[in-house]
Amino acid sequence: MRDMRLERYIWIVPLLLSSCFQEDEMVPSHETGDLTVGVAQMGPYYGRQIYYDLTGNLEVASNPVAAWDLSFESASGGWEIRLNTSMFMYAGNSYDTAFSEPLSPGGLEMVFDASSGNPDSTAIGDWTYETGEGTFSKKQVYLLDLGSNELGIARGTLKVQFGISGEDYTVRYGDPGSDTTVVIQRDPSRRIVHFSFQNGVLDLEPPTDTWSLLFTRYTTMLVTDDGEYYPYIVAGVLLNPEKVSAAPDMEKEFGELDLADTLALVLRTDADVIGYSWKEYDFDGGFYTIVPGKQFMIRNRDGYYYKLRFIDFYNDTGEKGFPKFEFVRL
């Protein structure tokens, strides 16, 4: 459900979403863990992104949601570029290579990255092409709508053109009064490299093998009663896309779930499997409630299975944005 003070929408053509599945692997021999309680302190305006580790029950890293604008795939040979959808960013491809030409969203198909994390459903899309001599940029110019910050203040638009310099990225960007080009170097120790138009390259996401869940605002697709899709800012949980898989379970009570129950589920690596729908908004009362009986089975980065459920969305002083959850290693 929606918090109308923070979350807004815009009509667009729906994105195609698909699912990814993680292959089964042997579970290391172990003892069942104890019931553990964790809290992610996002804040009342969901202003922090929090990387959380289930193995150690701790916050590994965090950053303001407005700290970055773009992320760049860092693995050798990959060229995926993503937007910061926690800021409601979206983009349109002009299919023109002339950077000096003015752009407006009126003549473009403006789209969002899919919250599933599907690489085939990004706003920037496939901006490169291959020949026998290597990988090259199509040099098409995009219009980026920078969305709005956590207080709902619009951040404007930029023209952007992506290029390739050896193994690295180049980003040319500007508005009517500026034209800047920067190089984004790959970092082999990182899954992605973050970039801010204001502050340059940033070291934000911790190493992939140190975290399980990302608590954050993000843009996802909702559906009206008439079946129309529209994007909406929500507060929820995204998976570590390379190390974690999950599935919801509402068939049993939380206390009854055990390791054998994972065999009946298809654990998926879609980033938004846990997502935001473990809570709902009470429009009459003006507050969030936790959906009863909704829990998740998770295969964590450490190879063990966990069951997890949310128990609150408020802190001790009644502020929202502090999801509390309990989990057990199975």
Q: Convert 51-62 into a string of H (helix), E (strand) and C (coil).
A: EEECCCCEEEEE
Q: How confident is the model at residue 176 (pLDDT cuts 50, 70, 90)?
A: confident
Residue 16 reports pLDDT greater than 60: no
* Phi, psi for 260 (deg, rounded to 5): -65, -25
At 206 the pLDDT is 95
Q: What distance separates the 2 farthest-apart alpha carbons in the chain?
A: 63
Average pLDDT over residues 120-146: 96
**Structure pTM?**
0.89
Q: Among 183, 271, 263, 285, which residue's Cα sits nearest to residue 234?
A: 271
Lowest mean pLDDT among 8-12, 119-123, 164-168, 179-183: 8-12
At 21 the pLDDT is 42
Residue 3 reports pLDDT greater than 80: no
How much of the chain is in helix, strand and coil states, percent to nearest 5?
5, 40, 50
Q: How confident is the model at residue 150 (pLDDT cuts 50, 70, 90)?
A: confident
Segments making up each domain of the chain, as ranges? 36-64+208-329, 69-199
Mean pLDDT over the full length of the chain? 90
Average pLDDT over residues 247-254: 92
Q: How confident is the model at residue 33 (pLDDT cuts 50, 70, 90)?
A: confident
At 160 the pLDDT is 98
How far from chain centre, in Å, is Cα 15?
Answer: 15
* Phi, psi for 277 (deg, rounded to 5): -80, 10
* Per-residue CA distances from 4 to 211, 269, 288 (Å): 31, 30, 12
Q: Among 296, 307, 280, which residue's Cα sits nearest to residue 248?
A: 296
Residue 190 reports pLDDT greater than 60: yes
- Cα 127 from Cα 124, distance rounded (Å): 7
Q: How confident is the model at residue 19 (pLDDT cuts 50, 70, 90)?
A: very low
CB distance 117 to 133 below 8 Å: no
Q: Among 215, 208, 210, 205, which residue's Cα sits nearest to residue 82?
A: 205
Lowest mean pLDDT among 5-14, 263-272, 317-326: 5-14
CB distance 307 to 254 below 8 Å: yes
At 29 the pLDDT is 61
- Cα 8 from Cα 42, distance rounded (Å): 19
At 28 the pLDDT is 59
Q: How confident is the model at residue 9 (pLDDT cuts 50, 70, 90)?
A: very low
Lowest mean pLDDT among 35-44, 52-61, 222-231, 274-283: 222-231
How far from chain centre, in Å, is Cα 124?
Answer: 15
Residue 204 reports pLDDT greater than 80: yes
For 292, residues 6+ apart whose C-beta sits below 8 A from its C-beta are none
Q: Is 63 helix (H, G, I), strand (E, B) or coil?
A: strand
Q: Is 113 helix (H, G, I), strand (E, B) or coil?
A: coil
* Phi, psi for 191 (deg, rounded to 5): -70, -45
| Residue-wise pLDDT tens digits, 78-127 | 999 999 999 999 999 999 999 988 888 888 999 999 999 999 999 999 99
For 147, residues 6+ apart whose C-beta sits below 8 A from its C-beta are 84, 85, 87, 88, 89, 90, 154, 155
| Residue-wise pLDDT tens digits, 251-296 | 899 999 999 998 889 999 999 999 999 999 999 999 999 999 999 9
Q: What is the DSSP letter of 191?
A: S
At 188 the pLDDT is 85
Q: Among 100, 81, 83, which residue's Cα sits nearest to residue 175?
A: 100
Q: What's the order of all strands across the beta sheet hosting 213-223?
A: 58-64, 48-53, 213-223, 229-239
At 6 the pLDDT is 41
Residue 8 reports pLDDT greater than 70: no
At 323 the pLDDT is 98
- Cα 125 from Cα 257, distance rounded (Å): 40
